[in-house]
Amino acid sequence: MGESPYSLAFGTEGVLPPEVIFLTLRIENFTPEALEAGLRKNLDMLKERRAKAHLKNLHYQRAVAQLYN
C-alpha cells in the first residue's frame, strides 16, 4: 500500500463533526483505551512504513537513472 509524504510526516486521524446526528456502531463502541492502543500500534509501525517508502523511492530513482544513463 502506497504512503503519501503527508501521512508519513503527520500521520492520519479521524475528526468527528461537532454535531453527530446519526450514531454509528463505530461511535457507540468508541473507547479511549482502544484509541490509545491504535495510536501506539501506528507509532510502532512508523519506522517500518518509512523504511518501505525509502525503498520504493530508491527503486524509483534507480529506474529513472537507467532510463537516462
Give tens-digit pLDDT for 25-45. Answer: 887 888 999 999 989 998 889
**Mean per-residue pLDDT, 34-60:** 93
pTM, full prediction: 0.48
**Mean per-residue pLDDT, 3-29:** 75
**Mean per-residue pLDDT, 12-18:** 71
**Mean per-residue pLDDT, 5-25:** 73
- Phi and psi at 50, nearest 5°, equal -65, -40
Res 10 pLDDT > 90: no
Residue 11: left if φ>0, alpha if ψ -120 to 50, beta else—which one? left
